[in-house]
Amino acid sequence: MTSTRVGFVGLGLMGAPMASNIAKAGWNVTAWNRSGAAFEGLAVQRAASVAELRNEDAIIFMLPDLPFIEEASTDLLESWRSNPPQPGTAVVIMSSVSPAAVQQFGETVQQATGGNAVVVDAPVSGGTAGAQCGTLAIMVGATQSQFEALKPLLETMGTTVRRMGPLGSGSLAKACNQLIVGTTTAALAEAAELAERSGMDVNALFEVLSGGLAGSRVLDNVGPRLAAKDYAPTGPAKFMHKDLGFVVSSAEAVGSAVPMASAAIDLYAELKRQGLGDHDLAVVRQTIANLSRTSAASASTN
């Protein structure tokens, strides 16, 4: 990219600090968000519509899933059909989306713009803390030249920025990330519930685990919330169910067995059935506690 202008769509828990860090790095950010309250305290310009971003060299989307992005970009694509953007315009999908679906969206954008605009998927990991500190891990699906052009922009938001392969590869890498985060969090939740019901101090358990082979970034970040039963959202747990669905569908496409993902997707589906989807991912411990009570009640009646 030769300019330092960028459009940004979606100023949620992750998007707002990401857009803020881009602006702090000296970029001119014009953003759109459904709610105007998100602009308070942000040094960005406000667009009245997504279509107003049509002349930006890059437009970042940080919305919950690809259907939201497709809906938000309807007027933008219609505008580009009648008046194509400059060659090399990049639509950067930083949400967690389906690897296959983002490739299809790339074809739609390419057709709508006569090839002038390309889609790059660049999902992130690191949670709200990483978004705020600008230390996200960013997994990019793009050609090498597209990646090199966007790298300075992406490095305003993350410290680990890697090209994983062509379009869709970033989303597959994020799906693998979520497989590890989702199953590890569930295993820690099971351990916490088992330990507490057995009379053990969960904080002491996690402290000793962190010093051994079971230690991990997931334990460091989610462990304190699991131990404290602190389920205030840093990101809705229901999105883990969505992301694990991408793991399963990607595995089916290449014939790869994913027994851990299959078990985890059932657990997170149960989390949603229990009405806990809007809480933090750590709320999977409450899901397991509820299942334990149900199991105990069933045993007592038999």
The residues carrying an active-site annotation are 174
Q: How far apart are CA 138 and CA 279, in angstroms?
A: 24
Q: How far is CA 151 from the centre of its chain?
A: 19
Q: How far is CA 159 from the centre of its chain?
A: 16
- Using a 10 angstrom Cβ sphere, with 0-12 exposed, 13-18 middle and 19 or more buried, the burial of residue 222 is buried
Cα angle 152, 158, 160; round to 5: 95
Q: How far apart are CA 146 and CA 170, in angstroms?
A: 13
Beta strands in 64-211 (DSSP E): 89-93, 117-121, 124-125, 136-141, 158-165
Place of tokens 């938001």: 157
Of the chain, the end-to-end C-alpha distance in Å amounts to 68
